[in-house]
Amino acid sequence: MSERDDFLLEYATVLDDFLRGGEEEALLRAYDLGRKALTKRWDFLDVTNMHQAAILRAAYGAARDGQPEELAVKSQEFLNQVLVPFEIVQRGFVEANTNLREANELLETRVKERTQQLEDALQRERLLRKEIHHRVKNNLQVISAMLFLQSRHVTDPKVVEMFNEGQNRVKSIALINEKLYQSSGMSRIPMNGYIDDLCKSLMQSYGTGRRGVILRSEVDELSLGIDQAVPCALVVNELVSNALKHGLPAGRAGEVTIAMRQGEGKQVHLSVADNGAGLPPNFDARKARSLGVSLVTDLVRQLGGQVAYETDNGTTCRITFMDKTAEPAKEGVA
């Protein structure tokens, strides 16, 4: 039998109980059947037809059993008592559906409006970010060009060298600005790509490739917040420049290795090593008068780290500091 046939059979049973005197209980069961019809999404007309079919079946049974005609009247009374509240319930159901549809349409409209507002705000942020990047980039280029032009009017080689070192420092900051603009979050800078590009720039500036000097970078895929990325970049610039200028002076081939590793927790280990001339005997960074060494000391202090120099088949500078903006490691994640 179909589901509706089952409904009719059950309803006829309820009607029979009503006719036999169990009116209150039968009406409650009939209401339950009405709610069942609602959940099946049968419309009011369908349910009315099913009610009437059930009554006809009950009336036929009454006539067959020789019961008085009053039972048919009572069957109609039962139908009226059941259908009126059922109609009210269905009307409420239809009204609720209408209200729900209107609420959904209103919600969709508000979501679209809010989404558009967020997209507009994001577009404004992108334009502002682009404008800031270009302004900083242009200002740094102007400073670098001014240093270059000034160096052309100087004949003292040491002064010219100072101007060139100043240019390299400006370029290292400009490169940080470029990486910051390219980063997705605009808050942390990937250091592996940055150090590779910085090495290429320094090799070009010192012409190391032509004299057999090799620069190697061994950098983990780690990033630093902007407040630490800038001093770290300047530290690498100073150490590599010192290695190329003093450890491997013109005419001497060799190798410079820049390593940056992620340590335990938030520790970061940075080292710059060369196989060049090495440091002078009894070297003390705290007493050194070199601008480069003084800058490294001050920048490491700004990083909140420690620095140590080693002389063994060249020079190695090791720096350890804590990544201040790194997210804490999650439990169970290596």
Q: Does any domain span residue 124?
A: no
Kindly state whether residues 179 and 314 are assigned to the same domain.
yes
Contact 175, 197 (CB under 8 A): yes
Which distant-in-sequence residues (6+ apart) come within 8 Å of 9 by Cβ? 1
Mean pLDDT, rounded, for 290-307: 88
Write the DSSP assignment of 226-261 as a string of letters.
Answer: HHHHHHHHHHHHHHHHHIIIIIS-TT--EEEEEEEE
Cα angle 169, 257, 286 (rounded to 5 degrees) comes to: 60
What CATH number is given to the structural domain containing 178? 3.30.565.10
Is residue 177 located within the same domain as residue 309? yes
pLDDT for res 200: 83
Tell me if 119 is assigned to some domain: no
For the sheet containing 306-311, what is the strand order? 213-219, 254-262, 267-274, 315-322, 306-311
The three-point CA angle 64-68-71 to 5° equals: 90
| Within a domain: 158 | yes
* Residue 170 structural domain: 154-322
> What DSSP designation does 187 have?
S
Task: Verify that 98 and 9 share a domain, yes or no.
Answer: yes
Q: Band of the pLDDT at 50, cuts 50, 70, 90?
A: low
pTM: 0.58
Q: Are residues 168 and 278 in the same domain?
A: yes
Domain boundary among 109, 142, 169: 109
pLDDT-above-70 percentage for the chain: 68
Q: Is the pLDDT of residue 32 over 60?
A: yes
CA-to-CA distance for 91 and 34, rounded, in angstroms?
13
**What integer pLDDT is reported at residue 269 of this predicted model?**
94
CA atoms lying within 13 Å on the CB side of residue 23? 8
**The total number of structural domains that make up the chain:** 2
